Amino acid sequence: MNVQMYLMRHGETIANQNGLIQGQTDYPLTEEGKQVILRLAQKIRHVSFESIFSSDLGRAKESSDLVTNELDYQKPVIYTKALREIDFGDYSRLPKKEVMEKIRLHKMNEEIPYPNGESGLDLKKRVTDFVHRILNSVQSGNVLVVTHYGVIETILKNFTDMGNDQIIRFKPSAIALLRFNGTMAGWERLEY
């Protein structure tokens, strides 16, 4: 197996700019968010992708559309609910600074769902199932995944040697490149 998975976070949104929790609610990309996505697409222009997958939430779809246009990618993008950000339930649309402590507690207790939302275990199951489906269907080549911070964090913590307690800082101007050898991957952060 020789699969390389490029993980790209969607562009900055109005909610990101205003410090709000998004979860599965949607906000449009900012102009800066669009420009960063276009610059990232330029940086990976040399890569030939077998498939491109995207969260079906609007901010990821808009980001993947910008990427595919820039790459002149001719196949259809595969949009999926499996790549959605965690559902923060009642915490969605609230200022991050008001709920970050509660979010940290939920991350330490993954089995507890957010009020009217998902648990960390729910996110982990759908994301790891997605990656296993990809690894079972693509034996070699490059795959691009346009998604959200929580999904990228989940993939890194479950398919690399990174510990669950490690904090991941992942700027919108970075791509995580995973090189799979079986079901585990080495990875590097490509900063642009």
Q: Give pLDDT < 50 ranges for the chain.
A: none
* 8 A C-beta contact, residue 123 and residue 154: yes
The token duo for 143 is 């795959």
Give residue 144's pLDDT: 98
Q: Specify whether the backbone of 116 is left (phi greater than 0), alpha (psi in -120 to 50) or beta.
A: left
The token duo for 72 is 């002149």
Give residue 170's pLDDT: 75
Boundaries of every domain in the chain: 2-191
CATH pick for 2-191 out of 3.40.50.1240, 3.90.550.10, 3.40.640.10, 3.20.20.140:
3.40.50.1240
User: What is the CB-side half-sphere exposure of residue 145 using CA atoms within 13 A?
Assistant: 26
Give residue 162's pLDDT: 82
Distance between CA 120 and CA 124 in Å, rounded?
A: 6
Q: Scanning the structure block, which residue is given the tokens 């820039």?
A: 70
Give residue 117's pLDDT: 98
Give residue 72's pLDDT: 86
Reading across the β-sheet that carries 184-191, which strands appear in turn?
A: 78-80, 49-55, 140-147, 2-9, 174-181, 184-191
pTM of model > 0.85: yes
User: Which of 37, 65, 48, 45 has the alpha carbon at shortest distance from 142?
Assistant: 48
